[in-house]
Structure formats: C-alpha cells, structure tokens
Amino acid sequence: MSDPTPSPLIVSVGDLIEEIAVRLAAPWRRGSDAAAAITTRRGGSAANVAVAAAAAGGRARFIGAIGDDAAGSALERALIDAGVEPHLQRQGRSARIIVIVEPDGERTMLPDRAAALTLSIAASPEPALLHGVAHLHAPAYSLIGEPLASSTRHLFAAAASAGISTSLDASSVGALAAWGPEASRDHFTSLQPGILFANEEEADYLDLLARPLLGATLILKRGPGEAEVRDENGAILARLPAPPIDGWVDSTGAGDAFAGGLLVAHASGASWEDALAAGHAAARRHLLAQREDQR
C-alpha cells in the first residue's frame, strides 16, 4: 500500500508582528478619552497566510525575522502552536502594529516593522528554505524596506529556477503609494508571480481590470462579497460569494486567511471555484476565531 500524497507545503515570507487590536466602543475625539477593548495577538500578513494554510490542511513554513526579545519568543511559539514551521532570524526589537477598529468596522493600522525588515537571505538561498515547497507567497509589504525586499526577491528567483509557483498580495494602497501605481506594477511584474491577490481598492489603484498584470492570474477579493478569479487576459474563470456571518466581526487578517486557504486548495489541484470556496472557508474560520478571542 503506497503512502498517501502529502499535503502541499506553502511557504510565506515577510512580517511576523505583535498585533495590538484596539476596538473602539464609540467614535473617538482627538485629545480626549475613548472606551475600548484591547487585545494582543500574533499578526503580520505573511504569517497570517502561513497559519491559515496550516489550518486549511496544508503544511506551512514561514520565513522572516523577529526580535531577540520576549515578544519574539512569544511570536515564534504562536507559529509553532498553529502548526507552522518557522525559519526565523532574530535580532533587535520585534515588530509591532496597532490596529484601531472603529465602531463601523473601519480600520487604521500603525505599524512599527522593526526587526521584520532585517531578514537577510543571500542571492543563493539555503536549499532547506525551499525544499519540498509547492508554493511561495509574499505580501507586497515584503518588497518594502531592506534587506527584506532583496531577500524576498532572491527567494522568488530561486523558486522560479526550481519550478515552484508563486503569488503576491497587493497588501494596501497606503503601502503602494510610496511607489505610485505604475512603479508598483513594475515591481510586481519583475517578480513574475503566477497569482496576484488584490481587493477592489488595490485593483482600481493598479488598473488591474483594464490592464491585467503580465502572466498573473488575478484573485479579486471583495471581503463579504463575491470573489473572482481572472486569467492573465482579464477573462473571468470563476466567481463565488462569501457565506454571510451574522453580527459584528473584526476583519483584520481575513484577506490573508482567504489567501492561505485558497493556495492550499489550488496547490492540491482543486478547480478555481473550489479554491475560492476553500478561501472563503478559511476566512470564515479566522473571523469567527478572532471574534471569540475578543469576547
């Protein structure tokens, strides 16, 4: 009897962050008090994808840098507890982000990336980093700041040489604004990702519907709405709405969880529609767990 085919190994490179979520009970007034519920948790876009991939039944590896401090140790333990294999460099002060969630669900993020930017990988990465990998993923955040950006590019080049599929997430218009839309497209194209994740705001900023990114399948995320898959020519390959969730939820990290679930399904050979369903299921798990943690 032959051994069952192992689940795909998804690798994510980028930020692992201590996240401080501040949920406001009412709109705040500058210079005054505002009642809030405050939660500390593990965060970081790249780490979120790895955790969601593991929760979706895949194998997951995270590559990044954290501080040589108590916060870094707690972040590493959180990854291991979530079933993710960590490949970490440690020095300095761990990254932190404050996420302010207003009563209407609008979020404002205040990142201090600290050690996360210090990931240093040579032009010829250690073979162990990509050994057995089915897919390599990075958010656009991983292309901003050195030496993390160069390290991410080295990993993408090594993945291309090894025939490993890759994906990028557009991350946020706020982050891309430092480059502008055309330079952002150039940065993305230079990595030649097979898949590009973007929400509606990011897709509009990058003009992705009118001018698809060369060689990339677009996964258009619409939060609680209908997600789409479009081929490199812009043709729609699949559409699927997200199942509704009753009540208020903090949507932080849901897009990353969607990506993790989708990538496991896609790497396992699922159809695009089934991959979208897996992405929605992963986002739902993440949202419900996050709501439970905030009670």
CA atoms within 13 A on the CB side of 141: 22
Mean local confidence (pLDDT), 71-81: 96
Q: Which of 37-46, 168-177, 265-274, 283-292 has the lowest mean pLDDT?
A: 283-292
Q: What pLDDT does residue 109 have?
A: 86
**CA 75/CA 79 separation, integer angstroms:** 6
The tens digit of pLDDT for each residue in 210-238 reads 999 999 999 999 988 899 999 999 999 99
pLDDT of 293 higher than 90: no
9-293 is classed in which CATH architecture? 3-Layer(aba) Sandwich (3.40)
Find out whether 133 and 159 touch, Cβ atoms under 8 Å: yes
What percentage of the chain reaches a pLDDT higher than 90?
A: 77
The tens digit of pLDDT for each residue in 77-130 reads 999 999 999 999 999 999 999 989 888 777 788 999 999 999 999 988 998 899
Find out whether 83 and 60 touch, Cβ atoms under 8 Å: yes
Find out whether 217 and 193 touch, Cβ atoms under 8 Å: no
Mean local confidence (pLDDT), 278-288: 93
Q: Which of 11-20, 123-132, 137-146 has the lowest mean pLDDT?
A: 123-132
Its pTM stands at: 0.93
**CA 147/CA 276 separation, integer angstroms:** 33
pLDDT of 60 higher than 80: yes
CA atoms within 13 A on the CB side of 14: 26
- pLDDT band, residue 165 (cuts 50/70/90): very high
Q: Which two tokens stand for residue 131?
A: 């050994």
Q: What pLDDT does residue 1 have?
A: 41
Q: What pLDDT does residue 131 have?
A: 92
Q: What pLDDT does residue 245 have?
A: 83
Task: Work out the mean pLDDT of the chain and round it to a whole number.
Answer: 93
**CA 64/CA 137 separation, integer angstroms:** 12
